[in-house]
A = this chain, B = another copy of it.
Amino acid sequence: MSNTKVLPLLEPEAPAAEAPCCPPLAERPFTAEEAERTAKMFKALGDPVRLRLFSLVASHEGGEACVCDISDVGVSQPTVSHHLKKLREAGLLTSERRGTWVYYKVAPSVVAAMGQMLALPREGA
C-alpha cells in the first residue's frame, strides 16, 4: 500500500485551480481581460480536428486516452501532437507519460466552467 495510488485526494500534476474563470456570459459584460483569457478556451475547441480529439479523449474510458488511440483523425501524427498541445495549453486537457505512451485526460473543472458560462437565465426570470 505504499506505491499504489490509493488516495487521489489531491493530484499534484493536475492544475485544478482555474475554477475562478468567469461568470456566466449573460450575468454581466465581460471585461477585456476576462474575454482575452476565456477566448483561448473557446478557440481551442474552435477547430474540427481539436474538437474530435477532445471528444475522443472525453468519451474514452475514464476520460483518458493514449495518443496512439486517438491519432486517426485524418491528419498527420505531428499535427495531432500539435493540436493536443493546444488543448493542453488551453487547460482543457492534461497529459502524463506512462512508459512508452503518453495519456491525455480531460480537465473536468475547466470544462465545467465553460459550460457554466453558457448558462442563460430562465425565460420567465
Instruction: Give Cα distance in the complex from A47 to B73, angstroms.
Output: 25
Query: A13 near B: Cβ within 8 Å?
Result: no
B118 pairs with A28, CB closer than 8 A = no
Report the interface size class on chain A.
35 or more
Instruction: Describe A's contact surface by its main secondary structure.
Output: helix
Question: If A58-B26, A115-B118 touch, does A51 touch B63 (CB 8 Å cutoff)?
Answer: no
B118 pairs with A114, CB closer than 8 A = yes
Q: Which of A27, A42, A44 has the most CB of B within 10 A?
A: A42
A52 pairs with B30, CB closer than 8 A = yes
Task: List residues of A (4-28) whose CB comes within 8 Å of B's CBs.
Answer: 25-28
